[in-house]
């Protein structure tokens, strides 16, 4: 992962130009405009209708039948904080393209409107019978990691029985997403500890994802293991920042709680 | 055995390491051997793009101390930014004032945020007492100028690192140069209002507290003072500052001066 290089752009865009390009004849320009609006978080209401329209695009197709422009638009809408996007993103959960469904679930998570909880729950329910994963659930036919993470972030406590079976999912990143969501929904340290223990797994990509998960849930007992994990200091610092912020939010009247001070001492060592 | 004899098998183990954990283990052994002859090898490891190995190599370079400083200064230039950040971290750990100019330049101008943050941190950990007395104040004023600027960097983690650097500088200069400490505290008051990142703000709170604790601790070490004395540290510093301007010059950094002053202030002698 590279947090150092500045973004390279083919040509400089203005907000107005990017919004206009969403309806350009040139598919490349359209897709670039959707990406650009999300990347620079252009929270201009005028950008929303064009991006929502792009969720139904039929022109930009991959040989396998994917919808690249829809994917870009769905990702961008997650960054622009406009709840008008919620119903059309919910519709995208039915799209034939896996990556559109994945982007839609992730954007619904960041937008934070609880009205998307029932359709997300339905997707999990279809993979479970009698509290066990059905074969299609094990196949990763849906973006289960993103769905489960969204439900965790949205505080969907009723979904706990449906998320629980995913703790046994054969794909590590789905399993870790389930641990993360279970911690968020139950605040039970069992799940946080299992997520923390996974930091010692050998795969660097997985460790990086775990660091970001532990930072996102602000899990204080993970602070020391994070500081010792074999990964880039930049990523460890971002994870610890998440924990520090959670500590401060949790105890607003104690500006320097023991937990906050401990996390900062660990961060200092990583600078 | 001579150093080269000890070095060869350790280097062989590194070149034969066939996995990341083995590499880390081999580098740890090389570091623990503390051989000056291994300095160029340890520096080369900083460029391997293996964070575990780099951490071990940095520790090895820090434990070797001064002999590693010139090779680090010479070899760092032009390395990739990952290696540069690790090298700066090693220099920061050693604290040799010879690195000041490189740290100043890196903190203010490097394009890589990991380099800027390591340099900002390192500017706070310089061993000032290794400079000639007349060199300390000019060097510190260059450092504070850059750190004040870096504390407004657009990356939160660089600002965070600058706060730690300013904290250390404020503590290091309390006795010899309370002007500087005051300037830093005033700056913190302003920053805590203007920064929008909660992690940076929390680090400023911690820096303010650490400086306060340090002042309180120095004052409480005076046996003639009442142990439970409440000390308004900001006011204390203010008085120190005012008194310092009036009094006859004594050698900078003379701790006796500070002790006398502190005692006088707390006794209400001013």
- Annotate chain B with three-state secondary structure: CCHHHHHHHHHHHHHHCCCHHHHHHHHHHHHHCCCHHHHHHHHHHCCCCCHHHHHHHHHHHHHHCHHHHHHHHHHHCCCCHHHHHHHHHHHHHHCCHHHHHHHHHHHHHCCCHHHHHHHHHHHCCCCHHHCCHHHHHHHHHHHHHHHHHHCCCCCHHHHHHHHHHHHHHHHHCCCCCHHHHHHHHHHHHHHHHHCCCHHHHHHHHHHHHHHHHHHHHHHHCCCCCCCCCCCCHHHHHHHHHHHHHHCCCCCCCCHHHHHHHHHHHHCCCC
Sign of the CA dihedral running A263, A265, A268, A269: negative
Report domain A15-111's class.
Answer: mainly alpha
Domain spans in chain B, listed from the N-terminal domain onward: 1-93, 95-269
CB contact (8 A) between residue A264 and residue B202: yes
pLDDT tens for each residue of B141-191: 999 999 999 999 999 999 999 999 999 999 998 888 888 998 999 999 999
Residue B245 makes CB contacts below 8 A (sequence gap 6+) with none
Q: What is the mean pLDDT of residues A178-192?
A: 96
Residue B21 has what pLDDT?
84
Record: contact A260-B202, CB cut-off 8 A = yes
CB contact under 8 A, A268 and B164: yes
Q: What is the CATH code for B95-269?
A: 1.25.40
Q: Tell me the C-alpha to C-alpha distance, in Å, between residue B15 and each of B24, B53, B141, B173.
A: 12, 13, 45, 46
Q: Which residues of B touch A202 (CB under 8 A)?
A: 21
Closest CA of chain A from B115, distance in Å: 9
List, for residues A232-262, the tens digit of each pLDDT value.
889 999 999 999 999 998 887 788 999 999 9
Q: How far is A218 from A239, CA to CA, in rounded Å?
A: 8
**CB contacts, 8 Å: A267 with chain B:** 160, 199, 203
Partners of A271 on chain B (C-beta within 8 Å) are 89, 117-118, 120-121, 157, 160-161, 164
Share the mean pLDDT of chain A. Answer: 91
Domain with CATH 1.25.10.10 in chain A: 15-111
Please give the residue that has the higher pLDDT: either B126 or B266.
B126
CA nearest B153: which of B97, B114, B108, B197?
B108
Query: Is B88 in contact with B118 (CB distance < 8 Å)?
Result: yes
Q: To the nearest whole angstrom, how far is the Cα of B51 from the nearest Cα of chain A?
A: 6
Alpha-carbon gap, residue A137 to A94, rounded angstroms:
16
Distance from CA of A257 to the nearest CA of B (A): 10
Which residues of chain A have a CB within 8 Å of the CB of B20? Answer: 204, 230
State the pLDDT at residue B235. Answer: 63
Q: What is the pLDDT of residue B1?
A: 60
Q: How far apart are CA A33 and CA A48, in angstroms?
A: 12
Test A4 with B112 for CB contact under 8 angstroms: yes
Instruction: Compute the mean pLDDT over every residue in chain B, rounded to the nearest whole number.
Output: 83
pTM: 0.78
Residues near A117 by beta carbon (within 8 Å), at least 6 away in sequence: A151, A154, A156, A159
- Condensed to tens digits (0 to 9), the pLDDT of residues B12-40 reads 898 888 888 889 999 999 999 999 999 99
């Amino acid at each position: 992962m590279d947090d150092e290089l500045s973004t390279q752009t083919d040509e400089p865009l203005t907000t107005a130009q990017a919004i206009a390009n969403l309806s350009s004849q040139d598919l490349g320009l359209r897709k670039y405009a959707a990406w650009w609006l999300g990347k620079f978080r252009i929270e201009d209401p005028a950008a929303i209708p064009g991006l929502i329209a792009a969720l139904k695009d039929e022109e930009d197709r991959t040989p396998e039948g994917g919808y690249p422009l829809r994917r870009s638009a769905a990702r961008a809408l997650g960054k622009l904080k406009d709840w008008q996007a919620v119903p059309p993103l919910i519709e995208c959960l039915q799209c034939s393209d896996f990556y559109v469904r994945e982007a839609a679930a992730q954007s619904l998570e960041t937008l934070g409107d609880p009205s998307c909880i029932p359709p997300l729950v339905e997707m999990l329910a279809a993979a479970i019978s009698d509290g066990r994963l059905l074969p299609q659930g094990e196949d990763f036919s849906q973006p289960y990691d993103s769905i489960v993470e969204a439900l965790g972030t949205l505080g969907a406590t009723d979904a706990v029985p449906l998320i629980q079976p995913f703790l046994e999912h054969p794909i590590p990143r789905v399993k870790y997403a389930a641990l993360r969501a279970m911690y968020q929904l139950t605040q039970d340290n069992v799940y946080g500890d299992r997520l923390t223990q996974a930091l010692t797994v050998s795969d660097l990509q997985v460790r990086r994802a775990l660091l970001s998960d532990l930072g996102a849930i602000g899990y204080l007992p993970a602070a020391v293991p994070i500081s010792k994990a074999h990964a880039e200091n930049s990523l460890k610092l971002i994870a610890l920042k998440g924990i520090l912020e959670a500590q401060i939010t949790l105890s607003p009247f104690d500006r320097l709680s023991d937990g906050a001070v401990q996390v900062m001492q660990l961060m200092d060592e990583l600078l | 055995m001579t150093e080269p004899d000890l070095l060869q098998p350790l280097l062989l183990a590194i070149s034969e390491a066939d996995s990341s954990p083995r590499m880390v283990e081999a580098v740890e052994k090389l570091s623990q051997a503390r051989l000056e002859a291994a300095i160029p090898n340890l520096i080369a490891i900083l460029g391997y793009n293996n964070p575990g190995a780099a951490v071990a190599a940095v520790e090895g370079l820090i434990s070797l101390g001064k002999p590693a400083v010139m090779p680090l200064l010479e070899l760092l230039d032009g390395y990739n930014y990952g290696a540069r950040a690790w090298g700066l971290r090693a220099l920061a750990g050693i604290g040799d004032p010879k690195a000041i100019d490189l740290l100043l330049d890196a903190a203010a101008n490097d394009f890589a945020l990991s380099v800027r943050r390591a340099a900002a941190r390192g500017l706070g950990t310089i061993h000032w007492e290794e400079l000639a007395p007349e060199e300390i104040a000019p060097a510190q004023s260059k450092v504070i100028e850059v750190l004040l600027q870096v504390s407004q960097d657009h990356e939160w983690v660089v600002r965070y690192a600058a706060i730690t650097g300013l904290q250390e500088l404020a503590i290091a200069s309390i006795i010899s140069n309370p002007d500087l400490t005051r300037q830093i505290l005033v700056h913190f008051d302003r920053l805590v209002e203007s920064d929008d990142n909660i992690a940076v703000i929390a680090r400023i709170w911690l820096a303010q507290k650490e400086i306060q604790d340090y002042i309180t601790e120095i004052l409480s070490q005076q046996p003639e003072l009442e142990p439970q004395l409440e000390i308004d540290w900001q006011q204390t510093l203010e008085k120190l500052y005012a008194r310092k301007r009036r009094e006859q010059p004594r050698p900078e950094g003379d701790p006796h001066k500070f002790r006398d002053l502190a005692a006088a202030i707390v006794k209400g002698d001013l």
